[in-house]
Amino acid sequence: MRRIAIIGAGSIVFCKTLMLDIMATKDLEDTEFVLMAPSTGKTSQVKAFADRVIKENHLKSKVTITTDRRVALRGANYVITSFQVGGVSAFELDYKIPMKYGVDQCIGDTLGPGGVFRALRSIPVILEVAKDMEELCPNATLLNYVNPMAMICWALGETNVKYVGLCHGVQTTLDLIAGYTGVSKQEIDYISAGINHMGWFTELSHKGVDLYPLLREKFEQPEFYVNEKVRGEVFRHFGYFMTESTGHLSEYVPWFRKNQKALDEYCDEPSFGGETGAYYTWCTYVADKYKEQDILSEESAALPPRSVEYCAYIIEALETGRTFKFSGNIRNDGMISNLPAECCAEGAVFADRTGLHRTIIGEIPPQCAALNLTNINVQRLAVLAAKSGDPETVVHALALDPLTSSVLTLREIREMVTEMLQAEQEWLPQFGGRLPRPTPEIPIPMDLKRAEVPIDPALAVFSRFGELAK
């Protein structure tokens, strides 16, 4: 019986979805699920539901729960990670403190202050998981769902575990493209490449016919454009369609959330169209709702069709040898030649009985790579900060963040980072309470006389021009 350890199994709805997908796969019916979370409050609900599904569908699977990560990992064939360090309490600080400084986030889990601090909390934990795997299940494959995906997988790329990061942005964006073009999703041929939440459809076609002219035509029509203003605007100006929503993309670039005018024009749509705090509001609603009731107790035990999540399909391919192609997040190492080798890139990956295999995509359009690099710069420094516990590196990461730097000065960024490190220190033990160096204001009297110092030759030339102008 294959053993699947789910680390962070307290995510009730997501954990349930993945387990149902696996149990609905004929060749995976005989699976042992080990659900691990810091407490058994939620995992006991998931187990009770799963036991009911197993009984009513006459499956061979079984479910156990534990609060000990090492117990869960021992002898595992597959490890699924879906934890959120600090939960909604930490997320509230990720959202509200930057907002106080003027950094307006919609999602806040991938880049920006929210994404960086989520990485600072999560990377030490994922590295502990990897270390335990190297000891307790060295041949297991890790399927990661923890965000920020690119930063988590960048850190995993520096370990010895077999891993891949999984997201559903490509699948759901294909649904949108199918709706815009009127072409069945299953009949669209495509190449998607870049980084997680900022992949680019470098090719879109149907039976050999390029779909981009039709997609561009649709985005020039108000009734289509209004549904995806930010993604549509980037598409219009950079030439390629991206794999994440308006709400996400608005945070990864400097143009759409930097002031009220931009927010009003591009991010005013409801239902995750980019409105302020949309994901935080949703998460608090869900947390409050599930706190009061066991929602799984009333769920049907019938096995539904498999969801769009890749997890069950990958495990099926690794177990049976039936090849499965998907968009995965792995260490780049030449997959996309104009992105850094050491970064986490997202592109086509094939799974079969021999393992996970990247495809060599080559270069993506230079303007798309350039936008990716603005995010990769932040990711690199955030990973370094999470591993080193150096508060100055956190400042450097957010000073390079496209959204944060479009709103705040360097001094304000330093002050924001200091406040966030203080507020979240219970989840950031690697910093040991250390904070960025303070930079006091330098008062400049109105009647100040400049110090006698050598003048830069270039400035001297401009100064001479000024004298001549007089």
Active site residues: 168, 252
Contact between residue 149 and residue 197 where contact means Cβ atoms under 8 Å apart:
yes
Full DSSP string of 179-243: HHHT--GGGEEEEEEEETTEEEEEEEEETTEE-HHHHHHHHTSHHHHGGGHHHHHHHHHHSSEES
Q: Using the structure block, give the residue that is written with the tokens 């608090």.
A: 284
- Helix 12-23 vs helix 43-56: angle between axes, to the nearest 10 degrees? 20
What one-character-per-residue DSSP string does 103-124 give?
---SS-SSSHHHHHHHHHHHHH
SS (H, E, C) 161-192: CEEEECCCHHHHHHHHHHHHHCCCHHHEEEEE
Residue type, 326: F
Cis peptide before 138 (omega within 30 of 0): no
Closest to 347 measured CA to CA, from 146, 334, 176: 334
Sign of CA dihedral 445, 446, 447, 450: positive
SS3 453: coil
Cβ neighbours for 87, distance < 8 A, ≥ 6 positions apart: 287
* Burial class of residue 32 (count of CB atoms within 10 Å of its CB; 0-12, 13-18, 19+): middle
Nearest partner of 54 among 27, 19, 15, judged by Cα: 19
Pairing between β-strand 198-206 and β-strand 344-352 as defined by DSSP bridges: unpaired
Are 106 and 95 contacting, i.e. CB atoms less than 8 angstroms apart? no
DSSP 362: B
The 3-state DSSP class for residue 358 equals: strand
